[in-house]
Amino acid sequence: DNRSVKDAASPQQVDYQKVYNAIADILEDENYDDGSYGPVLVRLAWHASGTYDKESGNGGSNGATMRFAPEANHGANAGLEHARNRLEIVKKKFPEITYSDLWTLAGVCAIQEMGGPYIPWRAGRKDGNVENCTPDGRLPDGDKGADHVRKIFYRMGFNDQEIVALSGAHALGRCHVDRSGFDGPWQYAPTTFSNEYYRLLEDEKWQERKWKGPPQFENKSDKSLMMLRTDMALMTDKGFRQYTDKYAKDENAFFSDFSKAFSKLIHLGVPTAQLSEPVPLKKIEDQAP
């Protein structure tokens, strides 16, 4: 219903490279987690977008409806207030950008600045109202298997190869007991984007962790890393495994496929007519000093 969607500033009025640089400026904080807000910003962009339902066409990043209580309080979104609050610093400097553009742009910035591939990004998302909130249950549960993962991601319009590529984002960040109930990082350098997730899935021995928390796996060698059941499915399910093998061996293939799949994710459900041409967003290291 377009009448309930506020008109945003025309996308041409915003200098997105400046916004990008302002986000890059607030990524690091030695007192937060592993020293970076990057991972939780990637999770925000993903959860804002991953509510998309291709049948009804609703959900997705257009709207930024996680600002409102029903969606902010969905169990899957626990902890994302850290990301949303951090981005308020940038929103104050650039009030003309919509939240929905800001959150997806922040995901792109975080991935690129943590060493990941360039991600094509278009501007033009409009912020919605509380009525545009999606129902709970559209995002995946970590304690389930391949069938659940397929059901959730097929609903967004992704195939097996894209599911495996997107999951490589778990190279970043960690699980927090007070957010999801799960605990720990997937790899040893959780603020560096790489194909480590696939390599460790295949090269480490994984066993069920014995603890009071929800079911998760730990690596036998030093028990400092974790995998969710949904992560393990990428190794145990034949349809997924071929791509896990490929990305474990070939980081360039992973970077290229991740870039396409993540770009698709953050534009799901946004009417094409609303979107700008792709906006070139340079990494800080590639900008003239």
Catalytic residue among 47, 74, 170, 267: 47
Closer to ligand CCH by CB, 40 or 87: give it: 40
230 lines the binding site for ligand CCH (CB under 6 A) = yes
Alpha carbons 78 and 75: distance in angstroms, whole number: 6
Helix (H) or strand (E) holding 218: strand 217-219
**Using CB under 6 A, which of 19, 87, 172, 225 touches ligand CCH?**
172
263 lines the binding site for ligand CCH (CB under 6 A) = no
Is residue 47 flagged as an active site residue?
A: yes
For ligand CCH, which stretch binds (CB under 6 A), given 16-24, 51-59, 135-143, 192-200?
135-143
Q: Residue written as tokens 């992560």?
A: 231
| Min separation Cβ 105 and ligand CCH, Å | 15
- From residue 207, alpha-carbon distances to 37, 161, 172, 228, 286 in Å are 30, 26, 21, 11, 42
Alpha carbons 13 and 172: distance in angstroms, whole number: 33
Catalytic residue among 46, 186, 206, 267: 186
Q: Residue written as tokens 């998302």?
A: 125
97 lines the binding site for ligand CCH (CB under 6 A) = no
What b/e string do you get for 239-278 counting C-beta neighbours within 10 Å, with b at 16 or more? ebbebbebbbeebeebbebbbebbbbbbbbbbeeeebeee
In this chain, which residue has its C-beta nearest to ligand CCH? 173
Report yes or no: 24 and 109 within 8 Å, Cβ to Cβ.
yes
112 lines the binding site for ligand CCH (CB under 6 A) = no
Closer to ligand CCH by CB, 38 or 124: give it: 38
Is residue 186 flagged as an active site residue?
A: yes
167 lines the binding site for ligand CCH (CB under 6 A) = yes
| Min separation Cβ 16 and ligand CCH, Å | 21
For ligand CCH, which stretch binds (CB under 6 A), given 1-9, 19-27, 34-42, 124-132?
34-42
- Residues in 2-31 at the binding interface with ligand CCH, rule: CB under 6 A: none
By CB under 6 A, the count of residues binding ligand CCH is 25
79 lines the binding site for ligand CCH (CB under 6 A) = yes
Structure tokens at 198: 């696939």
Closer to ligand CCH by CB, 101 or 237: give it: 237
**Using CB under 6 A, which of 66, 149, 248, 281 touches ligand CCH?**
149
| Min separation Cβ 51 and ligand CCH, Å | 13
Q: Which amino acid is at 233?
A: A
Alpha carbons 40 and 90: distance in angstroms, whole number: 16
For ligand CCH, which stretch binds (CB under 6 A), given 18-26, 51-59, 139-147, 238-246?
139-147
For ligand CCH, which stretch binds (CB under 6 A), given 23-31, 42-50, 53-61, 129-137?
42-50
182 lines the binding site for ligand CCH (CB under 6 A) = yes
Residue 36, SS3 per DSSP: strand
Alpha carbons 274 and 182: distance in angstroms, whole number: 38
* Burial label, 155 (beta-carbon count in 10 A; 0-12, 13-18, 19+): middle
* Burial label, 122 (beta-carbon count in 10 A; 0-12, 13-18, 19+): buried
158 lines the binding site for ligand CCH (CB under 6 A) = no
Catalytic residues: 47, 186
